[in-house]
Amino acid sequence: MISLVLLTASVALGIAEVVRFATPRWPRFVVAALHRNVSLLATTFLAVHIVTAVADSFAPIRIVDVFVPFVGTYRPLWLGLGAIALDLLLALMITSLLRERIGYRAWRAVHWAAYACWPVALLHGLGTGSDTRARWAVFINVGCLVAVVAAIWVRVGLTRTVPSGRRALAVLSSTTIALGVVVWMMLEPMQPGWARKAGTPSALLASSSARTTPGSPGAVASGRLRIPIPFSSGVRGSIRESSSGAGRETVTIAARLSSRPGVRLRVVIEGSPLANGGVAMDRGTVDLGVAGAPNLWSGPVVSLNGSDVVATVRTASGSAAALTMNFSVDSTTNRVGGTVSAQAGGTANGN
């Protein structure tokens, strides 16, 4: 998304440079320098995007898929558009470095590819992006689209060597295409089922479904992948105490693991209230999971000693882990901090 924003700024600055935009406080050399540096920064973020996409083990993206369009097995059309955008960008960079050797005409001819590079990159992001349906991503994508279309309007409006009819046609065409992209985005990538339609391999679809569907056959396996055992992490969350009548209290701690984004911890202690706060535990449970599958690991609390809690949790397949938790409670805000560690295959023991 950062690369897209920077590429958008590069296109707009490039058009500003072509139309010789300048003011007393904003001379042309500033526009040229900004255009060059923003383009280089966009290339840097693009390189990070490519390296992390190839290194990520979830999607089967190979080095060859980065440069050769439509040969991959993961969303081949949309990944191929990304390869085309990269190839065009590399052509722009190389010819810019060799501008004095190849001549202005050859450089300018290749530089027209900039107008193709940006929309191809936008479609690549819409087709393969995992955040396309998020509201913030919609604002960014549409905002970039509006910025480029506005820059094109300025470019066309300031071109006096082209008949007005052709200029009006260019404005109408760019606007129609932009609206078409927005409509397509709403009807396709933003709708459920787009991952399958876009060409995501069936095995990855099954794995993703298992991660978010409680009780599905692969949920426990994917949960182990997302919550690797052993681990040690800080926790942040809240504590709530409620009365269930008959002299019994329930203390509930809901927290997230700071070193395991998306992993949630829930501790419930039931018992008799103590004079100095808290409860004398009669029973307790611990759940460890993720959004959509909050109890991938569940089990009883076997020891409660002040703010130290020990539990044995298991998966549906019987895999066991020992959780050791130490909580710190701010009684004025009901916020909870502390640490939690897990050991696989062990049995927690406590007093």
Q: What is the DSSP string of 234-299?
A: EEEEEEEEEEEETTEEEEEEEEEETTSTTEEEEEEEEEEEPTTSSEEEEEEEEEEEETTEEEEEEE
Q: What pLDDT is stored for residue 217 in this prediction?
A: 35
Q: Say which residue the tokens 């526009």 belong to.
A: 31
Tell me the residue type at 206: A
Q: What pLDDT is stored for residue 112 in this prediction?
A: 80
Task: Phi first, then psi: give them for residue 157, nearest 5 degrees.
Answer: -65, -30
Is the torsion defined by CA of 295, 136, 131, 234 positive or negative?
negative
Q: If the chain, 351 residues long, is cut into consecutive pieces of 10 residues, what is the mean pLDDT of each piece?
A: 94 84 81 90 94 86 94 93 93 87 86 83 93 92 95 86 87 94 94 88 59 40 57 92 79 90 89 77 89 84 89 86 92 91 68 40
* Residues in CB range of 228: below 8 A, 6 or more apart: none
- Structural tokens at position 191: 């709708």
β partners of residue 289: 264
DSSP 150: H
Give the domain ranges of the chain.
2-200, 228-344
By three-state DSSP, how is residue 343 classified?
A: strand
Q: What pLDDT is stored for residue 226 in this prediction?
A: 54
* C-beta of residue 147 within 8 angstroms of C-beta of residue 15: no
Helix or strand run (H / E) with residue 328 = strand 320-330
Report CA Rg, the chain. 28
CA distance 124 to 175: 20
Give the number of other Cβ atoms within 10 Å of residue 86's Cβ.
Answer: 22
Give the number of other Cβ atoms within 10 Å of residue 289's Cβ.
Answer: 21
Q: What pLDDT is stored for residue 215 in this prediction?
A: 40
